[in-house]
Amino acid sequence: MTETSRTPPERAAESLLAFWAEAGVDAMLLDEPLDRIAAGRIIPPKPPERRSEAPQKPAAAARGGPDVSAAIAEARRAAGEAKDLEALKAAIAAFEGCPIRFEGAARQAVFARGRPDAPLMVIGEGPGAEEDQRGEPFVGRAGQLLDRMLAAAGLKDRVFITNTVFWRPPGNRTPSAAEQMVCAPFVERAIELVAPRMILLLGAAAAKSMLKRDEGILSLRGRWFEWRSADETLELPAMPTLHPAFLLRQPAAKKKAWSDLMTLTERLDRPDRPH
């Protein structure tokens, strides 16, 4: 068939085929539709992603937060090197193994207050907002109630007061078991240095941590237990009671806490038995 003998429709089809051929069409049917015109466009390559020279460690990992065993070992070392309470306070302030220190709520370490050779060690849960501001434990409303109770029981100048952790947990939440475990070597060293005759534990968090028990505080309160050091070389009688913050919310429970305090005071003042 000559050029002149082709019909207009044939010439139109030939022109269309030539157009698609130039556009890159090389098959009549494909499994999936493909826009050949779009595929023929020049698309500038994406710039390569910039990679840092070294992967960044998570903040918690950089400060050793998740590695509880390593943090406990470091706490034991630092606490063991403290020869007196001032050195222990400085060791706690310099310690970076407890995650609470980096959670944004703590201004400073809150160690202790009271008589350095007290016959009674009082251990609470952890510092709150006012304690965080002032750097001493139990100085807020709960602490003021505690002081009044201790004074009424004749114990005002016979106590050394501290907590299971030394930084304020964000939102005043209960410190975790891991956080208490990391701080435990410092608490134990404080007990060794003060050498009290017995321990008063304020609230469930302190009682469970120090006595390694799971019962609730209403079950534990008013009963005598034996606190033992990690190496079991030191053993002291310990009594859990209700936390002063709980007593502020439940004033009717003050009778129970007062009964616990009277029981403890009676044993503390009991004359030593002759050898």
3-state secondary structure the chain: CCCCCCCHHHHHHHHHHHHHHHHCCCCCCCCCCCCHHHHCCCCCCCCCCCCCCCCCCCHHHHCCCCCHHHHHHHHHHHHHHCCCHHHHHHHHHHCCCCHHHHCCCCCCCCCCEECCCCCEEEEECCCCHHHHHHCCCCCCHHHHHHHHHHHHCCCCCCEEEEECCCCCCHHHCCCCHHHHHHHHHHHHHHHHHHCCCEEEEECHHHHHHHHCCCCCHHHHCCCCEEEECCCCCCEEEEEEECCHHHHHHCHHHHHHHHHHHHHHHHHHCCCCCCC
In a domain? residue 26: no
Q: Which residues contact 38 (CB under 8 A, 6 or more apart)?
A: none
In a domain? residue 9: no
In a domain? residue 114: yes
Q: Which among 145, 149, 168, 170 is positioned nearest to 158, based on CA atoms?
A: 149
Terminal Cα-to-Cα distance of the chain (whole angstroms): 133
- d(C-alpha 262, C-alpha 247), whole Å: 16
pLDDT of residue 58: 38
pLDDT of residue 28: 54
Q: Which among 274, 131, 143, 118 is positioned nearest to 198, based on CA atoms?
A: 118
In a domain? residue 165: yes
CATH number at residue 69: 3.40.470.10
In a domain? residue 191: yes
What are the pLDDT tens digits along the chain (275 aa)? 554 555 566 666 666 665 555 545 555 555 555 555 555 554 444 554 444 443 333 344 444 445 899 999 999 999 999 999 999 999 999 999 999 999 866 789 999 999 999 999 999 999 999 999 999 999 999 999 999 999 999 999 999 999 999 999 999 999 999 999 999 999 999 999 999 999 999 999 999 999 999 999 999 999 999 999 999 999 999 999 999 999 999 999 999 999 999 999 999 999 875 44
pLDDT of residue 95: 97
Q: Which among 67, 68, 89 is positioned nearest to 79, based on CA atoms?
A: 89
Range of the domain at 151: 60-268
pLDDT of residue 269: 94
Q: Which among 102, 96, 97 is positioned nearest to 67, based on CA atoms?
A: 97
Structural domain tally of the chain? 1
In a domain? residue 7: no
Q: For tokens 């606190």, name the residue.
A: 227
In a domain? residue 42: no
- d(C-alpha 248, C-alpha 174), whole Å: 17
Angle, nearest 10°, between helix axes 204-211 and 177-194? Answer: 70
In a domain? residue 22: no
pLDDT of residue 18: 55
